[in-house]
A = this chain, B = another copy of it.
Amino acid sequence: MGTLAGISETSPLAPQAPADLPAVGGVRLSVAETGTKYRGRPDLLMAAFDEGTTVAGVLTRSKAPSAPVDWCRKHLAQGCARALVVNAGNANAFTGKAGDRTVREVAAAVAKRLGCRQREVFPASTGVIGEPLESGPINAALKAMTATLTPGAWEPAARAIMTTDTFPKLATATARIDGVPVTINGIAKGSGMIAPDMATMLGFVFTDAGLPANVLQDLLTSSVERSFNATTVDGDTSTSDTVLAFATGAAATSKVKSAGDPKLKGFVRAFDKVCLDLAHQVVRDGEGAQKFISIEIAGAEDDAAARRIGLAVANSPLVKTAIAGEDANWGRIVMAVGKSGEAANRDRLAISIGGVQVAAKGAIDPGYDEKTLVPHMKGREIDIKVHVGVGRGKATVWTCDLTHGYITINADYRS
């Protein structure tokens, strides 16, 4: 990032200012510069958790996952976490046995510093694929990082994990569990190689609620499905996509045994809100993005079919370039619905854009005048609704437009 003129400017779709996050009991943070790829900025984040912290995760479905993803997959089952270590600039992916060794060495060094077990250390890496990542510079930074762990450093944490991101991504919400107030904070990074499963390269959610690991996992899985996994920038799935959630229990909330516990209702809503906020921020920072696009599908066979149709529209380069050109080219939406492979009744298909009905009953709406849509198409937020006329399934997905900026960033990222 930052090497191309004009490209590192903040996305026009960014929030006006990063969210201001309160401390979360049981979580302390610090950042450092290792110089792995970037100069003059922190590129390493360590989060330390109090004893008793539980962890849950959703990991990339890539068949060529990174070494940190392999490690997380192996150790999530035991459910306890004492640390998160994230480096930016090198993904430690496709790095063979040396990559696994680096993860082990970092986990060992962190465990030694914090007095915990290696398997309680969760690593994540983001950046270039296929270049060896050395543990040396990371481990050399740990001593000072451990000494400077502090509860409030959320924005520096979010900044330390950025790669091509143009703004740090933070979200927060509060809730009560049985009357006890709890906080949920989240940070994320990602702006390209973004597709469902997972839709962000890295996302981390932290709460002081006390939750068994299995409950936290159920909450996270369901929340990710409606947030990170319902967004796409370019349809590319990273080797490193990781969302982890940590629950410290510092708020001393009453015990819950399942994600369906009525006591958790407000908490689930707040947790979902944080995940969706982060996922939207990733889309809003989509490489080269100039417009944020919501696609609401209704009338599909079921919700899963609706989501697949939505993603077919959201991943269509022709739909995305039309929107970049501020062209309400609904014919390309028809094409994308058609290519999804899901059932759709062409003769009952209806499309509206920006609240204006443009097509119904398999043809252009007789009352539709393209001019009425010009102000909407020129705006930053584009709303598309499609009814495919088959059943009751529905879903909403989010994406951004496909612009010259995407090409510029990605034709030159590594060099």
A335, B193: Cβ atoms closer than 8 Å? yes
Of B62, B193, B334, B413, the contact of A130 (CB 8 Å cutoff): B334
The residue in chain B whose Cβ has the minimal distance to the Cβ of A288 is B407
A21 at interface (Cβ–Cβ under 8 A)?
no
Of B60, B318, B344, B412, the contact of A64 (CB 8 Å cutoff): B344
Contacts A361-B96, A404-B404, A410-B317; A63 near B341 (Cβ below 8 A): yes
Which residues of B have CB within 8 Å of A317? Answer: 234-236, 317, 406, 410
Which residues of B have CB within 8 Å of A130? Answer: 330-331, 334, 359, 363-364
A223 at interface (Cβ–Cβ under 8 A)?
no
Q: How far is B327's CA from A364's CA once the two chains are assembled, in angstroms?
A: 44
Q: How far is B66's CA from A362's CA once the two chains are assembled, in angstroms?
A: 11
Q: How far is B338's CA from A60's CA once the two chains are assembled, in angstroms?
A: 10
A363, B415: Cβ atoms closer than 8 Å? no
* A interface majority secondary structure: loop
Interface residues of A, Cβ cutoff 8 Å to B? 60-65, 91, 93-99, 128-132, 192-193, 195, 234-239, 315-318, 321-322, 324-325, 327, 329-332, 334-344, 346-347, 349, 359, 361-364, 402-404, 406-408, 410-415
B363, A98: Cβ atoms closer than 8 Å? yes
Chain B min CB distance to A269 (Å): 32
Counting chain B CB atoms within 10 Å of each CB, which of A60, A91, A338, A343 scores highest?
A338
Q: How far is B129's CA from A336's CA once the two chains are assembled, in angstroms?
A: 12
Which residues of B have CB within 8 Å of A340? Answer: 63
Of B99, B324, B343, the contact of A411 (CB 8 Å cutoff): B324
Which residues of B have CB within 8 Å of A97? Answer: 362-363
The residue in chain B whose Cβ has the minimal distance to the Cβ of A197 is B339
Q: How far is B329's CA from A414's CA once the two chains are assembled, in angstroms?
A: 8
Which residues of B have CB within 8 Å of A93? Answer: 331, 334-335
Chain B min CB distance to A320 (Å): 9
